[in-house]
Amino acid sequence: MNDKYQKTMYACFIGYVVQAIVNNFAPLLFLTFEGAFHIPLQKITILITMNFGIQLLVDLLSAGIVDKIGYRASVIIAHIFSAAGLLGLVVLPGLLPSAYAGLLLSVAIYAIGGGLIEVLVSPIMEGCPTENKEKAMSLLHSFYCWGHVAVVLLSTLFFKVFGINNWKILTCLWVAVPVANGFLFAKAPMAHPAGEGEKGLSILDLCKEKVFWVLLLMMLCAGASEQSVSQWASTFAERGLGVSKAAGDLAGPMAFAVLMGSARAFYGKWGERMDLDQFMLGSGLLCILSYLCISLVPSPVLSLAGCAVCGLSVGIMWPGSFSKAAVAIPNGGTAMFALLALAGDLGCSGGPTLVGYISSAASDNLKKGILAAIVFPILLAAGVILLKSPRLFCKK
């Protein structure tokens, strides 16, 4: 790594920590929102849909905007929206006539920041002069997991010491992270991912590539496989398994995040010795088994273990799909990363939304909702196999 890009690398790492805060802090408060604001589970589901749905829209619109205003301005704007949305969770429910409307607006604001971060951080890292791009990408994405761990662990400790009723104070403390990293990005050097002076493929050109459609499917399934369990792990542990909030958060979402980060850090350290296709295919099969364990095994302990193993299994899916795209379409540019993020966020929205609606239809039975989402790791494993076909790379 060129020494002058160290600051850029650190800012990218913290950028994924910011996205982890945006995506995973509010789910720890779902039952608190339900009780304090009298919001039913089905409406809580819409908060998840709103978050990832707006991130999806940002992904769709960002490709042209980022190339016009530049990576630096875009990533700073992303951090401003992330901070403002998190602060909105504290302020807006009390200001607006409906507390639920305040939550929805707050989620919408920080979702804009989260969506931009997802589009920007990977290509900014891709532009840094690293020797092994696949390892660097996996290590980068592991910081999303460590951010997730920090959110769950530190929030749980805060709630244990100061009480869940003081969640607004903790929210204000989390706001400091995107604020500080926005200043770091303001000073960090940037390089275009397609190369200095190079222009990436257009969206139309990308859509003509058959391999690109398989990569989109894989990204969709990677996001859905991860978030279908991650977004509901805390609620599942408390309501579905009857454990305390502290125990549920530590054994559910935190264990999930630790093992997901471990899988990414493991590949980031020793990735050059492994076949990425085999690693991803094995992870897909392990994910299928973890879904079956969560939804079908009657033991609460084993169901929680299934949540943790699911984190291990999904670790490589998202960064692995990004890496395969960078190799398969090396001149994809900003448009490719934006559309891949779009597909991933579509999965992040659709997966937990499917779980929520199936669960509500089954009398709030989250196990049945999670079982329905097993289709996503199945399709991802199929996508890895499809990528081995040379026909995908034929132009005719």
Instruction: Describe the crossing of helices 255-270 and 300-314 by its angle, rounded to 10 degrees.
Output: 30
What secondary structure does DSSP assign to 169-205, as a single string? HHHHHHHHHHHHHHHHHHHS----TT-TT-----HHH
User: What is the average pLDDT value for the chain, to the nearest integer?
Assistant: 84
Question: CATH number of the domain that 377 lies in?
Answer: 1.20.1250.20
Please give the model's pTM, rounded to 2 decimal places: 0.76
Higher confidence at residue 258 or residue 1?
258
pLDDT category at 43 given cuts 50, 70, 90 is confident
User: What is the pLDDT, as a whole number, of residue 59?
Assistant: 79
Tell whether the model's pLDDT for residue 249 goes beyond 60.
Answer: yes
- Copy the structure tokens of residue 81: 């929206």
Mean pLDDT across the stretch 209-226?
91
Instruction: Describe the crossing of helices 375-386 and 276-296 by its angle, rounded to 10 degrees.
Output: 170
Overall domain count for the chain: 1
| Cβ density class 187-225: b for 16+ within 10 Å, e for less | ebebbbbbeeeeebbeeebbeebebbbbbbbbbbbbbbb
Using alpha carbons, list the distances in angstroms from residue 51 to 24, 64, 114, 148, 376: 11, 22, 9, 16, 20
Question: What are the start-end ranges of the H helices in the chain?
Answer: 6-24, 30-37, 41-69, 71-95, 99-127, 133-162, 167-187, 203-207, 210-230, 233-235, 245-249, 255-270, 276-296, 300-314, 317-328, 333-361, 366-372, 375-386
pLDDT digits (tens, 9 = 90+) for 375-391: 999 999 999 998 887 66
User: What is the pLDDT, as a whole number, of residue 240?
Assistant: 57
Residues 6+ apart with CB under 8 A from 219: 318, 321, 322, 340, 341, 343, 344, 347
Domain that holds residue 211: 3-393
User: What is the pLDDT, as a whole number, of residue 3?
Assistant: 64
Does residue 344 contact residue 118 with C-beta atoms inside 8 Å?
yes
pLDDT category at 396 given cuts 50, 70, 90 is very low
Which range is least confidently modeled, 93-107, 228-242, 317-331?
A: 228-242
pLDDT digits (tens, 9 = 90+) for 125-175: 877 776 666 677 778 888 988 888 888 889 989 988 998 889 999 999 999
Tell whether the model's pLDDT for residue 246 goes beyond 60.
Answer: yes
Which range is least confidently modeled, 202-206, 209-213, 241-245, 251-255?
A: 241-245
pLDDT digits (tens, 9 = 90+) for 184-213: 999 888 876 655 555 667 778 888 888 899
Higher confidence at residue 182 or residue 149?
182
pLDDT digits (tens, 9 = 90+) for 346-378: 888 788 888 888 888 887 778 888 899 999 999
User: What is the pLDDT, as a whole number, of residue 390?
Assistant: 62
CA 390, CA 314: separation in Å to the nearest integer?
26
CA 253, CA 266: separation in Å to the nearest integer?
20
Tell whether the model's pLDDT for residue 303 goes beyond 70.
Answer: yes
